[in-house]
Structure 1
Amino acid sequence: MFETTDELLKQIRLGEDSSLELKDLRYKGNQVNDPHRNSMADELAAMANTANGVFVLGVDDKSRTVVGIPEDKLDVVETWVRGICNDLITPQLFCRIRILPVTTNDGEERLIIRVDVPRSLYVHKSPSGYFHRIGSSKREMSPEVLFRLAQQRSQARIIRYDEQSVNAAHRDGLDKALWEKFKTPLSSKDDEEFLLKLKLLTQDEDGNVCPTVSGVLMATHYPQEIISNAFIQAVAYRGTERNAAYQLDARDIVGPLDIQVAEAYDFVKKNMRVYAVKEPARRDIPQYAMQAVFEALVNAVAHRDYSIYGSKIRLHLFSDRLELYSPGSIPNTMTIDALSQRQSARNELLASLLARCPVLLPNYDGEREFLMDKRGEGVPIIITESEKLSGRKPEYRLLDDSELMLTIFAAQPPHGED
């Protein structure tokens, strides 16, 4: 849509329609003061709920005059737009934001910001409710329209979320050093063809090639810059309570998902206690079976719901237990009790990619060659290895039908140790 700047300027001269929105911005200090964030969120969500569209910032919608954006405000405006998409629209909205220089009728060059809004696979809610776009205006959806749209979008999500295009990211953002490990001798020699077949890249409805959610998560160094909740919050506490006063260690673990697994694994290993007994030879007893911890971390990054904004994986260590929270419910056909007997992958593409990532952990005592197991052994290993060490079976709980919590109990210290 509007492939060239000339095409875009021609459309601007014609004015707003169902696929074009023009905005002139006002500033107060180092902030965008007008339009209001909530109003802008409503407009963006309405576009995503309707069709592919473009917002042009720095153009007066009444006179259709390019007023431009001051150069010192470009970062401010981009941060403002990203914040709206991430914080005020549910689920978060992926937009592509570009700075464009344009020459006006009087021969001056001015800067505008183009925001490409894709027609989403989801129905987005904004601060004032659910909106769609009719012509150049947004309209609140009636219950009947909302229900029908939700049905249509649900059927459209035959394309799974992990395969959805991320228009906010550029195809060149995928790092070859990160995706080359997925290649085999039979893989295409053409990089783009290979990435499209692997579904790390995809074509959106306009034919533009851009990364998928899986491409961002597996082949970029900082996926949380695009998918802001794609990280692990790790905290270690001295006692049994979640209290900042007793915090021993904390960090946000970021990076590609295979790196997140490795660094979270190291976090547990670094912060857990290891007891020593003589029988008569020395024998070390760790608080946690690290093979079980490894499987739990892989399952968390592979099966969590990445569409839930603001919910990251949480890894919390206490003196008596490890708690791992993974955003998202379990599939409707499964129960907590059936987790160890059944398989169901929310993110099939991610799971297949993790199954091709080698285990690169020093001193890993499991028999796994690759991160993901396709035989459904992960949960049974978590249960049996943890129970063997601590004498207590790990517990799975579903919190508010939106978060899966796993508790692994720590091994008891040998007699005479605390």
Structure 2
Amino acid sequence: MKISELFPDVVTEDTEYEFKALLKQDNPVKWAKTIVGYANDQGGIIFVGVSNDGEAFGLDLNEIDQTKNLVARVNDRNIFPHVKISYMMRSVDETADHFVLGMKVLPAESVVRYREGDFNETVYIRGNGNSTPATPEDIISLSKRRYGVDNETTEVRYREEEWTDYLTLCREYRNDGAVPSLKELQSEEIVSKDGFAKSGFIMFRDGYDRDDTMICCRLWKGMNKAGTVLDSARFKGSIALVFENALRFIERNTKSGWQKTANGGRKEIRSYPKEAIREALVNAIAHRDYSISGTQIDVDIYNDRMEIVSPGSWLLPKGYAEYPVGSIPSIRRNSIIAACLDAANLMERGGTGFLTMMEAYKAFSEQLQPVISIYPGFLNLKLYDVLYRVDEAPRSVEYTASENKVWKLLKENGPMKVKDLQCAYGYSNRSRFLKDVINPMIERGDIYRDGSTKSPTAVIKIKR
């Protein structure tokens, strides 16, 4: 019996239909890639119990149960995110002992991957009768499926008064200190020729309130998340506002100081080079996968490092370490968001963000160089604190004995009130203690006061 006798519209394998005699459990990727390919396209049906030439011989009920259980197990363990599958059966004989099993795969709302092991994910797309690994360009195209990201023309007309956060960002970082003209935004395809904003640009609009721009920042006491959270914040809103708020959080929770130069002068030194922090955040925003709902960019600051984690698989065919420094190809997951950052002079066109970070760290040892770790579904960028020293203030900064003591007390105990620090020193005069010890460290950026100077609950925190 031919499959067309059971399903008149099905004649041969194509973009919508595929035939499988059996689904084997010893190498599931051979058939599971078809499920992934259909989910990443317009959906499709896999017919089990059918030969390659369309002969329908069917499976018995026990084989059908085993097949369904196998598909459910592979969908749960190997396919991310899980796809929706429905089943149908047609008898191939008069006694109804054998059936063709049809598995209808529904199209997914986000990019679907097949996972083998802990660190190997493959995106498959559907061709004419086969499923093949997607190219980086294919993945970018798939990631734009969700409405609102990134290149759809919306019905919102661009008006400068509705993008004040973004225009303020442009004034701060553009060399000319000006805002981009409408003509410039149109030439970058951020705004359509008719004056309507692209969906990626909507994420920079004042009052944007969806959760997909969220950045979660945390300051930890210790080297990992087993420690105490000393400071935390969740920022959402327009990308421009979230970016600035995240930078301010990092600034107040990291250290800076002064170092003597060879000619007797002084220069400012920081735990993390400004350029590296900015590039790390910009790259996380530009390249995150906005199609993965319920995720955010995470910024975690530990004693010795900062980790910036963004959702989205690595798009390039080789790992980060396999590319020579400065030669990483520029592949943009979100073209309009990247163009908006370009127009604000925050993102280079040539994909030089990683090179800029490496350049900012070139004066430091190999152990302090930035590290990119690639995991299934997200990237982790580590920036190391170049001033970090164990159990003491950085020796490269000039600290008095009293300032070193403040540093150690705050590092060991976390935030403390001024009166408690004063008591630990034995200072009888609060004003003198503030003048001699606390205020100079605040002015230099070593510590900061969280709360009003007159508030009894205000505490001193270390910028780490």
Compute the TM-score of the two structures, normalised by the length of structure 1: 0.52
Deviation per CA, 1:367-396, whole angstroms, max 9, x where unpaired? xxx111112221011112124256521111
Aligned pairs for 1:391-402 within 5 A: 392-399=368-375, 401-402=376-377
The 8 Å contact of residues 157 and 195 in structure 2, kept in 1 or not, is answered as: no
1:330 matched to 2:314: yes
In the alignment, the residues of structure 2 paired with residue 237 and residue 414 of structure 1 have an alpha-carbon distance, to the nearest angstrom, of 22
| Matched residue count | 263
For residue 284 of structure 1, report the CA deviation from its aligned partner: 2.8
Partner of 1:219: 205
Aligned partner letter, 1:345: R
In the alignment, the residues of structure 2 paired with residue 408 and residue 198 of structure 1 have an alpha-carbon distance, to the nearest angstrom, of 43
From 219, 222, 226, the equivalent of 1:236 is 219
In the alignment, the residues of structure 2 paired with residue 336 and residue 385 of structure 1 have an alpha-carbon distance, to the nearest angstrom, of 18
From 218, 222, 233, the equivalent of 1:251 is 233
The 8 Å contact of residues 163 and 349 in structure 1, kept in 2 or not, is answered as: no
1:196 matched to 2:192: yes
Structure 1 unaligned segments of length 5 or more: list them. Answer: 1-45, 51-122, 133-139, 202-210, 358-369
For residue 341 of structure 1, report the CA deviation from its aligned partner: 1.4
Pick closer, same or farther for the CA change 1:398–1:157 going to 2, 3 Å: closer
Q: Kindly report structure 1 stretches of 4+ aligned residues shifted beyond 6 Å.
A: 144-147, 152-158
Aligned pairs for 1:17-96 within 5 A: none
The 8 Å contact of residues 234 and 315 in structure 1, kept in 2 or not, is answered as: yes
Partner of 2:32: none
1:142 matched to 2:103: yes
Deviation per CA, 1:106-135, whole angstroms, max 9, x where unpaired? xxxxxxxxxxxxxxxxx9857xx3469xxx
From 258, 280, 295, the equivalent of 1:276 is 258
Secondary structure, aligned partner of 1:388: coil
Structure 2 unaligned segments of length 5 or more: list them. Answer: 1-38, 44-79, 88-100, 113-123, 168-178, 388-393, 408-464
1:371 matched to 2:349: no
Partner of 1:348: 335
The 8 Å contact of residues 289 and 389 in structure 1, kept in 2 or not, is answered as: no
For residue 254 of structure 1, report the CA deviation from its aligned partner: 1.9
For residue 263 of structure 1, report the CA deviation from its aligned partner: 2.0
| Percent of pairs with identical residues | 21
Compute the TM-score of the two structures, normalised by the length of structure 2: 0.47
For residue 313 of structure 1, report the CA deviation from its aligned partner: 0.6
In the alignment, the residues of structure 2 paired with residue 194 and residue 330 of structure 1 have an alpha-carbon distance, to the nearest angstrom, of 25
Secondary structure, aligned partner of 1:307: coil
Partner of 2:300: 316
Pick closer, same or farther for the CA change 1:327–1:151 going to 2, 3 Å: same
Deviation per CA, 1:15-57, whole angstroms, max 9, x where unpaired? xxxxxxxxxxxxxxxxxxxxxxxxxxxxxxx9x978xxxxxxx
Partner of 1:291: 275
The 8 Å contact of residues 174 and 215 in structure 1, kept in 2 or not, is answered as: no
For residue 162 of structure 1, report the CA deviation from its aligned partner: 4.7
Aligned partner letter, 1:303: H
Aligned partner letter, 2:221: R
Pick closer, same or farther for the CA change 1:404–1:282 going to 2, 3 Å: same
Pick closer, same or farther for the CA change 1:242–1:198 going to 2, 3 Å: farther
Aligned partner letter, 2:378: E
